[in-house]
């Protein structure tokens, strides 16, 4: 086994540190070391988007980032989207619009959609579909997800 | 009949919603236990080979490895036949698929399991296991596997024909025939007969969450399982069967499940993790890789189908005939039976013969996929119907309406329909804005298709206990894949006259609830919902006794309506009476245990508008509507969601998805990049039209909504592509190269 590496980072606004093997992905570190299991593994090769988190404001698939790369970075996961006890408008809209069925892809979609609304408060339907094309959902056919993002976009601007 | 409901038909927030949008919900792979080991599975690199020797010594010697398991660690299976919910099957097949014994039958077939202190070490150790193979020739499609001289998968498999075992040893596990009337005579009466051949590719259910299992073989001999499954009792019974344990020695806790669609009914990992846990004395978690999911968990059968329909000039169908050969994969059970029953199920045809062949091939053992068998079949039948309509100059909806199945229509396998909504679905298509809208551009076409799925009943259990604050706790055993906690809770709420939010549903482990069959067959809202209705009625009965006690009268004298108990001007709302249960006799627990008949079949339709790029053959779906008779929509938003999700899976099946196999039986596209499921960018909004023809066999008219919606889309797309590009495609998927080849051949 490789000697473990000490990583200092910021997760959901709080300083965090952990020991990981150099070969461990950020996804593994979040789930298995930090017990932040809201970030999901669907494919482990960057193609399903279930493990989407933001790293210094950019969305990344955490299965394709090494844990050691989190050194000094700011990571936001699904656990950091709600403001305390108050759900983010996207989380509310996903519930009101029934935009999830099994829910396994939902954390990735919400993290990715929030990154979109943070930089573009008024995306078109086409833009939402383009932005979310790296997040696979097999249950909903995307209709209600797109509508939930549209609804949240209205609420964010209000 | 118009019934007013208070809760049914509304759209409350799902009870597990907050957990699922915050990342708190715990799915199978999320479980962490003290001392947890991680497992990995060694899988066959060959599609067909004899295992000559397995040497695990190097793997066992790797630091961090705690246990290694092979099929030799399972108790001997013998030739026991078991029924674990999907029909009678030799235990040796179920066990042999979990860990190969003697032979590997497909690439990805599990051979050994390893448990180690980390997943990386386990993977490394699996690669150190030495296996000596005698590679055998493989056979990959039903037509090839049925040829004389094809490589034989199971030397002990005797073909069954028309219900009887024969002496023939080949790859056909079963040949059966359904017949009504006289098809030959019916074709003689026809003015037009169309017969066509169809091929459909193997496709995967494509749930985003890989299979997983965590097992602790405890020191007291009890085996505890945490897993993502459609049926916790199936996992319990299968695991117990393979390990030769009494069923109640296994306890299964169903974790949240990240999609299933039929593919999370079979057991793959649990018995292996159990053996590894027994050997190591520690809990063991195994999670499949995505490649494993494709190569080793059940896809749905590829198929070869011939369909023939005869019609009179006025469009009346006089006869139909079909030949369906479905690829079961490595072990028998291709769901060709349902395919054969469904192929002409939407039509009232007096003379029909259908032959079905269940064929084993060197691909992963197939599993159910949303209306299993019916989508392949409808692609064939609905394409032929469309061609007949075109040749006779009749509108595609009108020809279907003329022949539509209705109450009393006899299906080819014998049963006559009770009240069904086929005609209403077709009328809804005809009346829809979509069907009557202009196409809006060149290279566009519109197609329709319809399809049928039976839905099932099967056993379910539910208990409800009353809280002093007027809320109730509902306990059930159906794993919730798409919002069924809520659709079940809503039915209890309706009976109790309380809001849906006052019901707190929990899905619990197999020790804590009565037997409940799988979440599948569109049965959960129907059957477990019914168990909840029974449990709620039991509560009403007991609460009437309490009210009678308070009012010093007989329970039969107490009325209950809209959540209020009353008698002679005295009245008490549910919550008020609930606050008095302590003083009137103690806790109230209602129970419901059902095995309902009265299942209501569901018809669905699809309208697809496509635009086909004349230069590349790429098909864009520009507009899509799903229409389905659901009986009664308990929670319309989740009903729409089922229709939209099933439609989009059907679109993927129709246009993109396939197991792209090379001649050695290796899947060349076993990643989510190359196995291209539809993304948000590929699709328009999916419009829905909910048709409600109440099922007379359910207290609230529920039919079930999960499956029929996937049946029509590939056919509707084929018919739309025909109008757009002038070619009829009879092979799935209808990918750009297939379309261009057809265009060039014209």
Tokens of residue B511, six digits: 């020790």
pLDDT at B710 exceeding the cut of 60: yes
* B chain contacts of residue A128, beta-carbon cutoff 8 Å: 680
Whether A142 sits inside 8 A of B683 (CB atoms) is yes
Say which residue the tokens 């039948």 belong to: B381
Helix/strand/coil for B535: helix
What pLDDT score was predicted for residue B83?
79
* Domain B31-136+209-258+264-296, second-level architecture: Alpha-Beta Complex (3.90)
Sign of the CA dihedral with B565 first, then B567, B568, and B570 last: negative
pLDDT at B377 exceeding the cut of 60: yes
CA–CA gap between residue B454 and residue B335 (Å, rounded): 13
Whether B27 sits inside 8 A of A82 (CB atoms) is no
Which among A153, A147, A76 is positioned nearest to A117, based on CA atoms? Answer: A153
**pLDDT tens profile B387-396:** 999 999 999 9
Q: For B259, which of A39, A104, A145 is closest by C-beta distance? A: A104
**pLDDT tens profile A108-121:** 999 999 999 999 99
Q: For A136, which of B64, B261, B672 is closest by C-beta distance? A: B672
What is the residue-averaged pLDDT of chain B?
A: 97
What pLDDT score was predicted for residue A67?
98
With 0-12 / 13-18 / 19 or more C-beta atoms within 10 angstroms meaning exposed / middle / buried, residue B613 is middle
pLDDT at B8 exceeding the cut of 70: yes
pLDDT at A62 exceeding the cut of 80: yes
Distance (Å) from the alpha carbon of A9 to chain B's nearest alpha carbon = 21
Neighbours of B470 (CB within 10 A): 17
Active site residue B707: yes
pLDDT at A157 exceeding the cut of 90: no
Whether B644 sits inside 8 A of A101 (CB atoms) is no
Confidence of residue B82 (pLDDT cuts 50, 70, 90): confident
**pLDDT tens profile A13-58:** 999 999 999 999 999 999 999 999 999 999 999 999 999 999 999 9
Neighbours of B559 (CB within 10 A): 12
What pLDDT score was predicted for residue B84?
74
CA–CA gap between residue B662 and residue B676 (Å, rounded): 18
pLDDT at B290 exceeding the cut of 50: yes
With 0-12 / 13-18 / 19 or more C-beta atoms within 10 angstroms meaning exposed / middle / buried, residue B162 is exposed
Q: What is the pTM of this model?
A: 0.98
Domain(s) of CATH 3.10.20.30: residues in chain A: 5-80
What is the residue-averaged pLDDT of chain A?
A: 96
Which CATH number applies to B303-455+599-745: 3.90.1300.10, 3.40.50.300, 3.30.365.10, 3.40.720.10?
A: 3.30.365.10
CA within 13 Å, CB half, A144: 28
Optimal mutation site among A62, A93, A102, interface B, most CBs of chain B within 10 A: A102
Which among B313, B312, B376, B370 is positioned nearest to B341, based on CA atoms? Answer: B376
* B chain contacts of residue A11, beta-carbon cutoff 8 Å: none
Residue A4 contacts residue A17 (beta carbons within 8 Å): no
**pLDDT tens profile B565-590:** 999 999 999 999 999 999 999 999 99
Residue A50 contacts residue A139 (beta carbons within 8 Å): no
Residues ≥6 apart with Cβ < 8 Å to B126: B40, B41, B42, B59, B112, B113, B114
Optimal mutation site among A138, A140, A147, A149, interface B, most CBs of chain B within 10 A: A138
DSSP, res B249: G
Please tell me which residue of chain B has the smallest CA distance to A84: B22
pLDDT at B2 exceeding the cut of 90: no
Whether B647 sits inside 8 A of A141 (CB atoms) is yes
What pLDDT score was predicted for residue B55?
98
Neighbours of B555 (CB within 10 A): 14
DSSP chain A: -PPPEEEEEEETTEEEEEEE-TT-BHHHIIIIIS--TTS--S-SSSSS-TTEEEETTEEEEGGGSBGGGGTT-EEE-GGGTSBTTBPPHHHHHHHHTT--SS-SSHHHHHHHHHHHHHH-SS--HHHHHHHGGGS--SSS-SHHHHHHHHHHHHHHH-
Neighbours of A81 (CB within 10 A): 22
Tokens of residue B87, six digits: 């029909």
The three-point CA angle B87-B88-B93 to 5° equals 110
* B chain contacts of residue A48, beta-carbon cutoff 8 Å: 208, 290, 672
Domain(s) of CATH 1.10.150.120: residues in chain A: 89-157
Whether B290 sits inside 8 A of A45 (CB atoms) is yes
DSSP B345-403: TTB--SSEEEEEEEEE-SSPPP---SSTTHHHHHHHHHHHHHHHHHHHT--HHHHHHHH
Q: For A140, which of B205, B206, B644 is closest by C-beta distance? A: B644
**pLDDT tens profile B19-57:** 999 999 999 999 999 999 999 999 999 999 999 999 999
Domain(s) of CATH 3.30.365.10: residues in chain B: 303-455+599-745, 457-594
With 0-12 / 13-18 / 19 or more C-beta atoms within 10 angstroms meaning exposed / middle / buried, residue B184 is exposed
Whether B13 sits inside 8 A of A129 (CB atoms) is no
pLDDT at A143 exceeding the cut of 60: yes
Beta bridge partners of B564: B561, B573
pLDDT at B1 exceeding the cut of 50: no
Task: Write phi, then psi, for B328 (nearest 5 degrees).
Answer: -75, -20
* B chain contacts of residue A147, beta-carbon cutoff 8 Å: 685
Between these two residues, B321 and B79, which has the higher pLDDT value? B321
Please tell me which residue of chain A has the smallest CA distance to B647: A141
Whether A136 sits inside 8 A of B208 (CB atoms) is yes
CATH number of the domain located at residue range(s) A5-80 in this protein: 3.10.20.30
Q: State which fold the B457-594 domain adopts.
A: Aldehyde Oxidoreductase; domain 4 (3.30.365)
* A chain contacts of residue B689, beta-carbon cutoff 8 Å: none
Neighbours of B20 (CB within 10 A): 25
Whether B17 sits inside 8 A of A95 (CB atoms) is yes
Task: Write phi, then psi, for B721 (nearest 5 degrees).
Answer: -65, -35
Distance (Å) from the alpha carbon of A113 to chain B's nearest alpha carbon = 12
Optimal mutation site among B14, B19, B22, interface A, most CBs of chain A within 10 A: B22
* A chain contacts of residue B206, beta-carbon cutoff 8 Å: 138
pLDDT at B187 exceeding the cut of 50: yes
Q: Is B186 left (phi over 0), alpha (psi -120 to 50) or beta?
A: alpha
Q: How far is CA B300 from CA B376, B602, B653, B716, in A?
A: 10, 21, 11, 20
Q: Which letter, b or e, does each residue of B73-112 get, where b requires 16 or more Cβ atoms within 10 Å of its Cβ?
A: bbeebeeeebebbbeebbbbbbbbbbbbbebbbbbbbbbb
> A89-157 falls under which CATH superfamily?
[2Fe-2S]-binding domain (1.10.150.120)
Distance (Å) from the alpha carbon of A72 to chain B's nearest alpha carbon = 24
ipTM over cut 0.90: yes
Whether A144 sits inside 8 A of B641 (CB atoms) is yes
What pLDDT score was predicted for residue B388?
98
Distance (Å) from the alpha carbon of B14 to chain A's nearest alpha carbon = 7
**pLDDT tens profile B668-701:** 999 999 999 999 999 999 999 999 999 999 999 9
Confidence of residue B86 (pLDDT cuts 50, 70, 90): low
* B chain contacts of residue A24, beta-carbon cutoff 8 Å: 120
Whether A87 sits inside 8 A of B21 (CB atoms) is yes
What pLDDT score was predicted for residue A1?
59
Q: For B29, which of A41, A142, A145 is closest by C-beta distance? A: A41
Please tell me which residue of chain B has the smallest CA distance to A139: B645
DSSP, res B71: G
Distance (Å) from the alpha carbon of A105 to chain B's nearest alpha carbon = 7
Stretch B329-339: mean pLDDT: 96
CA within 13 Å, CB half, A95: 17
Whether A136 sits inside 8 A of B482 (CB atoms) is no
Stretch B61-86: mean pLDDT: 88
CA–CA gap between residue B308 and residue B197 (Å, rounded): 9
Tokens of residue B448, six digits: 């329709």
Stretch B388-417: mean pLDDT: 98
pLDDT at A105 exceeding the cut of 80: yes
Q: For A136, which of B21, B210, B679 is closest by C-beta distance? A: B679
Whether B21 sits inside 8 A of A95 (CB atoms) is yes
**pLDDT tens profile B521-555:** 999 999 999 999 999 999 999 999 999 999 999 99
What pLDDT score was predicted for residue A90?
98
pLDDT above 90: percentage of residues in chain B: 97
* B chain contacts of residue A142, beta-carbon cutoff 8 Å: 648, 678-680, 683
Residue B288 contacts residue B275 (beta carbons within 8 Å): no
Stretch A133-137: mean pLDDT: 98
DSSP, res B672: T
pLDDT at A158 exceeding the cut of 90: no
Neighbours of B26 (CB within 10 A): 15
Tokens of residue B628, six digits: 């389905």
Whether A141 sits inside 8 A of B208 (CB atoms) is no
- Please state the length of chain B: 746
Residues ≥6 apart with Cβ < 8 Å to B530: B460, B491, B592, B594, B596, B698, B699
pLDDT at B4 exceeding the cut of 60: yes
pLDDT at B87 exceeding the cut of 80: no
Beta bridge partners of B134: B50
Active-site annotation holder among B327, B611, B687, B707 = B707
Whether A21 sits inside 8 A of B120 (CB atoms) is yes
| Inter-chain contacts counted by CB atoms under 8 A, chains A and B | 191
CA–CA gap between residue B40 and residue B212 (Å, rounded): 11
What pLDDT score was predicted for residue B81?
85
* A chain contacts of residue B257, beta-carbon cutoff 8 Å: 102
């Amino acid at each position: 086994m490789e000697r473990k590496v000490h990583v200092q980072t910021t997760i959901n606004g709080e300083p965090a540190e952990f020991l990981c093997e150099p070969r461990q992905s950020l996804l593994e570190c979040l789930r298995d070391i930090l017990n932040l299991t809201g970030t999901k593994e669907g494919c482990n090769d960057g193609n399903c988007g279930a493990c989407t988190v933001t790293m210094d404001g950019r969305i990344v698939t955490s299965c394709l980032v090494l844990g050691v790369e989190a050194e000094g970075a700011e990571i936001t996961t699904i656990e950091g989207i709600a403001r305390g006890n108050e759900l983010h408008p996207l989380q509310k809209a996903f519930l009101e619009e029934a935009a999830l069925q099994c829910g396994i892809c939902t954390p990735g979609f919400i993290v990715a959609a929030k990154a979109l609304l943070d930089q573009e408060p008024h995306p078109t339907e086409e833009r939402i579909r383009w932005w979310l094309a790296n997040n696979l959902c097999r249950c909903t056919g995307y209709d209600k997800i797109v509508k939930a993002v549209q609804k949240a976009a209205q609420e964010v601007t209000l | 009949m118009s019934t007013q409901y208070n809760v049914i038909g509304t759209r409350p927030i799902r009870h597990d919603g907050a957990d699922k949008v915050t990342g708190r919900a715990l799915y199978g792979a999320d479980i962490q236990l003290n001392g947890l080991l991680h497992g990995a599975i060694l899988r066959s690199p060959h599609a067909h080979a004899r295992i000559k020797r397995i040497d695990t010594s190097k793997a066992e010697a790797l630091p961090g490895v705690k246990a290694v398991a092979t099929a030799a660690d399972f108790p001997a299976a013998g030739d026991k036949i078991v029924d674990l919910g999907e029909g009678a099957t030799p235990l040796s097949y179920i066990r042999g698929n979990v860990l190969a014994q003697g032979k590997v039958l497909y690439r990805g077939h599990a051979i050994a399991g390893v448990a180690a202190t980390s997943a990386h070490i386990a993977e490394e150790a699996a690669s150190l296991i030495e296996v000596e193979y005698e590679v055998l020739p493989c056979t990959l499609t039903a037509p090839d596997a049925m040829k004389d001289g094809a490589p034989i998968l199971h030397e002990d498999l005797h073909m069954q024909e028309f219900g009887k075992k024969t002496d023939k040893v080949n790859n056909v596990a079963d040949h059966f025939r359904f017949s009504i009337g006289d098809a030959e005579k019916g074709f003689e009466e026809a003015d037009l007969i169309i017969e066509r051949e169809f091929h459909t590719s193997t496709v995967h259910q494509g749930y985003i969450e890989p299979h997983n299992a965590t097992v602790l073989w405890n020191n007291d001999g009890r085996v505890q399982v945490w897993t993502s499954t459609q049926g916790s009792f199936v996992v319990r019974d299968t695991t117990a069967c393979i390990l030769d344990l009494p069923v109640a020695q296994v306890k299964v806790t169903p974790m949240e499940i990240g999609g299933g669609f039929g593919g999370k009914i079979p057991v793959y990992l649990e018995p292996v993790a159990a053996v590894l846990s027994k050997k190591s004395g520690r809990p063991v978690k195994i999670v499949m890789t995505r490649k494993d999911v494709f190569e080793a968990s059940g896809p749905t059968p590829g198929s070869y189908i011939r369909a023939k329909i005869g019609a009179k000039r006025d469009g009346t169908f006089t006869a139909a005939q079909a030949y369906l050969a479905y690829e079961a994969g490595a072990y028998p059970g291709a769901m060709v039976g349902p395919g054969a029953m469904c192929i002409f199920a939407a039509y009232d045809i007096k003379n029909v013969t259908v032959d079905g062949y269940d064929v084993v091939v060197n691909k992963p053992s197939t599993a159910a996929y949303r209306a299993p068998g019916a989508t392949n079949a409808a692609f064939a039948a609905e394409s032929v119907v469309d061609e007949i309509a075109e040749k006779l100059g009749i509108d595609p909806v009108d020809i279907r309406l003329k022949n539509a199945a209705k109450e009393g229509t006899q299906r080819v396998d014998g049963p006559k329909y009770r009240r069904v909504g086929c005609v209403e679905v077709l009328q809804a298509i005809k009346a829809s804005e979509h069907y009557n809208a202009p196409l809006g551009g060149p290279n566009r076409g519109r197609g329709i298709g319809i399809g049928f799925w039976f839905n099932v009943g099967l056993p379910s259990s539910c208990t409800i206990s009353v809280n002093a604050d007027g809320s109730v706790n509902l306990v059930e055993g159906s794993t919730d894949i798409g919002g069924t906690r809520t659709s079940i809770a809503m039915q209890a709420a309706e009976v109790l006259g309380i809001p849906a939010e006052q019901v707190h549903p929990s899905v619990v482990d197999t020790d804590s609830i009565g037997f409940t069959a799988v979440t599948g067959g569109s049965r959960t809202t129907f059957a477990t919902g019914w168990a909840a209705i029974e449990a709620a009625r039991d509560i009403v009965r007991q609460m009437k006794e309490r009210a009678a006690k308070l009012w010093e009268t007989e329970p039969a004298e107490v009325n209950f309506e809209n959540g209020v108990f009353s008698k002679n001007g005295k009245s008490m709302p549910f919550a008020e009476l609930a606050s008095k249960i302590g003083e009137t006799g103690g806790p109230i627990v209602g129970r419901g245990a059902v095995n309902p008949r009265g299942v209501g079949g569901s018809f669905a339709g699809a309208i697809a508008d496509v635009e086909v790029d004349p230069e590349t053959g790429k098909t864009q779906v520009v507009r899509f509507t799903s229409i389905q008779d659901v009986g009664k929509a308990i929670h319309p938003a989740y009903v729409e969601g089922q229709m939209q999700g099933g439609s989009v899976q059907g679109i993927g099946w129709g246009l993109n998805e396939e197991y792209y196999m090379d001649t050695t039986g290796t899947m060349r596209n076993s990643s989510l990049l190359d196995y291209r499921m539809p993304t948000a960018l590929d699709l328009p909004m999916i419009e829905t039209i909910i048709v409600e023809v109440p099922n007379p066999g359910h207290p609230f008219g529920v039919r079930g909504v999960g499956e029929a919606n996937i049946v029509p889309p590939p056919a509707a797309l084929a018919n739309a592509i025909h109008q757009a590009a002038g070619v009829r495609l009879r092979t799935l998927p209808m990918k750009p190269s297939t379309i261009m080849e057809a265009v060039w051949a014209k």
